[in-house]
Amino acid sequence: MPEEILSAEDQRRMAASGALAAAVGYLLWGFSVILYKQLTHVPPFEVLAHRSLWSVLLTMGIIFGLGRSATLLTLLRNPRAMATLAMTAALIGSNWFVFILSINESRVLETSLGYYINPLVSVLLGVMFLGERLSRAQMVAVVLALLGVINFAWVIGTLPWISLYLAFSFAAYGYLRKVSRIEPLEGLFVEVVMLLPLALIYLGWLAAHGGMYIEHAGWYETTFLVLTGPMTTLPLILFAYGAQRIRLATLGLMQYMAPTAQFLVAVMLYGEPILPAQLVTFALIWLALGIFSVDTYLKERELRRLARLPV
């Protein structure tokens, strides 16, 4: 009996530490807007290049520090995995660029909208490529999200391309990483290494033409450019740690912390105006996510109930 109680206690502690890690990871993603806002006078491509460079150095240090070099070597010898990572590197690199660009142009609300839409796009990818079926509640959620985007495009007169690109590129990235089952840390290292040659070529070209910002930057800007590495890597590590220790439904609900933080930062800290059309769009997306989340929670609760029944 004591052993069973101790085991249950250990499980509770693991779940608590996992939830805390995932929450911190999502909040870092959400509030990273503040970091990139300090670099709006730096060209987005240069910020992206530094993000790749410092991420390589940090992830390499973590991999070797944790003694995971053997796992990395196994990954490097897998041609199929490397081909997948070439695609995910292109997706995540372009996603990072659009994210940085949106902050430079003070369109953080569109960024927030994109990451709210992302879970619903992931559901559609599951239907299209994994043979998954939508429940009625999920169908309603997807239709509501679509109506939100149509409303935005109709009233504003243009598609929210930043929101849509962030949602679809990150959903495609998540799908490819899911089906490949590549370790998160080693996979990220390979992705940023693949982006590194382009980053170095671009930084070298800027240096040759006297236009690399960091050459003339003070300690303040330099610090924030270097911090783009940890701000990229640490949330992923925290997310991976949490995902292994908490239920999928809990993790799914927690993912809305990041776009919510972005929304609050955009409105309360940087004073981005919210047009009536945007409010209607956000209301439809929030309603869709509410329906989707409740449906996911009820399904997982039913699966847990069935799992406890005697065979």
Residue 218: per-residue pLDDT: 81
Can you give the pLDDT at residue 1?
39
- Is 110 within the bounds of a domain? yes
Q: Which domain holds residue 45?
A: 2-115+160-276
Domain-embedded: residue 42:
yes
Assigned domain for 302 exists: no
In a domain, 295, yes or no: no
Low-confidence ranges of the chain (pLDDT < 70): 1-10, 244, 247-249, 251-252, 307-311
Domain count, the chain: 1
Domain assignment present for 172: yes
| pLDDT for residue 67 | 92
**What is the model's pTM?**
0.87
Q: How many whole angstroms separate alpha carbon 96 and alpha carbon 109?
A: 16
Q: Is residue 20 part of a domain?
A: yes
Asked if residue 283 is part of any domain, the answer here is no
Per-residue confidence (pLDDT) for residue 2, from 0 to 100: 43
User: What pLDDT score does 22 carry?
Assistant: 84
Domain assignment of residue 305, yes or no = no
From the centroid of its chain, how far is CA 140? 25
d(CA 159, CA 161): 5
